[in-house]
Amino acid sequence: MSWKPIGHVSSLFLLGGLSSGRKPCSMYISRQLLASSFPRDPQSTDGVLNARICSGASCVYGSVLCCAVQEGGDELGRAMGSEPASGAGTRRRRERSPEEGLPAVHSRQWAMARRALMTVLLFSLILGGSLLLWGYVFQGCGPAHCETPVCRDLLSLYLASGNTSVAPCTDFFSFACGNTNRTTSSFQALAKENKRRLQRILEAPGSWHLDSGEEKAFQFYSSCMDTGAIEGAGAGPLRQVIEELGGWPVSGDWTPLDFNRTLSLLMSQHGHFPFFRAYLRPLPTPPYTPVIQIDQPEFDVPLKQKQEMNYAQILREYLTYLNRLGTLLGGDPNKVGEHASFSISINSQLYQFLRPPEQQQAQGKLFQMVTIDQLQEMAPAIDWLSCLQATFAPMSLSPSHPVAVHDLEYLKNMSQLVEKQLSKHRDFLQSHMILGLVGTLSPALDSKFQEARRLLSQKLGELTGRPPTPAHPRWMTCVEKTAAFFKPTLAALFVREAFGPSTRSAAMELFTAIKDALIARFQVLPWMDEETRAKVQDKVTQLQVKMGAPEWALKPDPARQEYDDIQLGPSFLQSFLSCVRSRRARIIRSFLQPFPNHRWQVLPWGVNAYYSIPDHVVVFPAGLLQPPFFHPGYPRAVNFGAAGSVMAHELLHIFYQLLFPGGCPACDTHALQGALVCLERHYAAFPLPNGTFFNGSRTFLEDAADMGGLAIALQAYSKRLLWYRGETTLPNLNLSPWQLFFRSYAQVMCRDPSTQDPQDTHSPPTLRIHGPLSNSPAFARHFHCPHGTLMNPSSRCQLW
């Protein structure tokens, strides 16, 4: 169909997105429509009206393009086929018809009748055409309401979280997020919802056709949820594990094994590392090859800050916790207290040996490559080859095998401490390892052990001012453990349930629109030179995107032999330990295979997108592309405002280096520096709620990505709205599509400002909303914000 501009018509015609199933009327109305409505000169080559897009008109509150159509006089007459005063119409009047020879009276009577007839006909055509256009434009171009279940759920969320009594131009954070006491962020809420989806999958095995590996995953979850059986077994399964390690001096017979034999069993069979951690990961620097890395251990409590006011109380609470563990295992209270005090002393000394990561970075030594043989010489108390070989079987290790050590001085001091204690307090050293193992295995033990852990977390939170680890409901603990041990199976089931082909296709379409808008954005940045523009465009073009889940999770038949080595039962603890060993062996086997171009660093149900520098890959997991951030059935305004702004934010991570001094030598550094200063002042001008912290020097990169991400997503949405039909909005919100876009952006950032971590590299949620939105002229225009209000400041910044 051919489209031509519309001329002047004496009405206002809305030029916006049509509801689904109708022709787009973003800027055009069809030749056939106008031709059927208005008569025209059969010799005219322009049978439709010429379009004019006029500013200042509004057909729907804050809606898309509208056209103020005015009375057109002669131009309207020409378009409708009436006779203008000159031109072709004049020539036609001079042409005589065969009836020109009739008498004058009859000619005048016929002319009068013809004029009357033509007047009635013309009036009828004008009236009919106006009614037709009114029905076509006003009824067809306005955004329809999305009434689907997913839209109704989204509407309920927006109504519950927002506070519409607050003026959006003075406090949009409260307008969007003010009615919810958010102790968690929107991302944390989405992560919890994804776990609930996994719960629903695991609690409905009859809904799936399961293979043997998948059956084990469902059986493990079921046994984890069988708290009656776990409570009935009590500490019995744990005592059996301790006996296999040689026993415990305070709770029964003790047959001491060789120290390194016990340590090897703890590391390889139980996943417990009392003196150091050893794991297999790619090196953090080129060529990123996988290597065994040895790092400091993980401590239950910080035991170094003796100058702290609550240090003594922290020690007492930790001692109480260890005493409780020993009592639960049937130990003599006096002996338990003595051995628990020794364990605290060991941990405190080990903690003193640590170097802070900041110090290691300042010295330029994130890790040091040594051979196992060299490590044996520097830290001889540990039989490194034996312990590492048992832990990383089936890898074949030798004394010349290289390992990456993150703190060699710590390992030297640790070795000296172990040698000293082995010569004097061998039984106490055994107790230290056993008590640490009990803490590691507490998630697989009965409620008494878990309650001891919960009380310790609560007390430490009160003493240190840090929020304690939240107590998870049992279903969430079991989902997390099942997901950790049966990741391939749950990944495939989650993708099948939550990220089907239509969702993946819609997400890729959204990403493509965002990427195109990013490239277009770079073309107009005032501080970027042409050479840099070309380079960044090439970098975006070469970028890989991983969407949803790893390739192996998208295959219809994931590895069915993954879990042959898992033996479930007779107790849940035994099942837990069998899964620990199976998972470690799986990880090692995966690293022994040819190294892929990119290893996913997030689970498919995770919510953290990221950019991998070495692989030049941006990753958006399926768990992120879920309601309320994204759904194929949502209004486009929601998807672009929420998920689209997140995508644009992550893409800007690629170009952070340009913002650092010297990062863009060919750019207009004066203009760039001015934009950075403008951004800093822009954020510093906003008031902050009491109890929140802001450090612009720490957050400026994320602030820049927030501001640029919104602008890029808005540009992508504007283009999509112009060229595609079928825009919808949510009922009962009284928000236009544009306003819904900004509302959806804010929803992503909603959380309680008082929960902000002072070390967070992101700004407080109020700034993450007010900073970018107030920098957008479109926001002020579509919400009709008076000049000078918080959300419509006198000046704005253009960084990205």
- Please give the positions annotated as active site: 650, 706
- Residue 472, phi then psi, degrees to nearest 5: -80, 145
Contacts of 542 (CB under 8 A, 6+ apart): 616
CA 84-90-94 angle, 5° bins: 145
Give the integer Cα–Cα distance in Å for 511 and 516.
Answer: 9
Distances (CA, A) of 749 to 400, 623, 757: 51, 17, 15
Q: Is residue 639 within a helix (H) or strand (E), and if so which, with residue range?
A: helix 636-639
Q: How far apart are CA 319 and CA 494, in angstroms?
A: 42
The rounded distance, in Å, linking the Cα atoms of 531 and 516 is: 19
Q: What angle do CA 58, 64, 69 make, to 5 degrees?
A: 50
Q: Does residue 45 contact residue 124 with C-beta atoms inside 8 Å? A: no
122: closest CA among 232, 39, 185, 41? 39
Dist CA 164 CA 290 (whole Å): 53
Strands 12-14, 66-68: pairing is antiparallel
- Measured between alpha carbons, how far is 637 from 634 in angstroms, rounded to an integer? 8
- With a CB cutoff of 8 Å and minimum separation 6, the contacts of 356 are none
The per-residue DSSP string of 178-241 comes to TT---SS-HHHHHHHHHHHHHHHHHT-GGGS---HHHHHHHHHHHHHH-HHHHHHHTTHHHHHH
Query: What is the rounded end-to-end Cα distance, in angstroms, of the chain?
Result: 39
Contact 430, 248 (CB under 8 A): yes
CA-CA distances (angstroms) from residue 292 to 375, 402, 403, 755?
13, 8, 5, 37
d(CA 527, CA 743): 30
Structure tokens at 9: 């018509």
Q: Is 626 exposed, middle or buried (0-12, 13-18, 19+ CB in 10 A)?
A: buried
232-251: burial string, b at 16+ Cβ within 10 Å, e else? ebebebbbebbeebbbbbbb
Cα separation of 423 and 429, whole Å? 10
The three-state secondary structure class of 629 is: coil
Residue 248 neighbours by CB under 8 Å, 6+ apart = 242, 254, 329, 331, 430, 431, 434
CA distance 748 to 642: 6
Query: In this structure, is the dihedral angle defined by the CA atoms of residues 555, 561, 567 and 573, taken in order, positive or negative?
Result: negative
Those residues whose C-beta lies under 8 Å from the C-beta of residue 549, and which sit 6 or more positions away, are: 491, 494, 495, 499, 600, 604, 621, 622
16 and 65 in contact (C-beta within 8 Å)? yes
The residues, any chain, with a CB within 8 Å of residue 234's CB and separated by 6 or more, are 446
- SS3 category, 337: helix
Q: Smallest Cα–Cα separation from 339: which of 244, 245, 429?
A: 429
Long-range pairs for 503-509 at CB < 8 Å and ≥24 separation? 503/625, 503/631, 503/632, 504/547, 504/548, 506/630, 506/632, 506/639, 507/547, 507/548, 507/620, 507/625, 507/630, 507/643, 508/545, 508/547
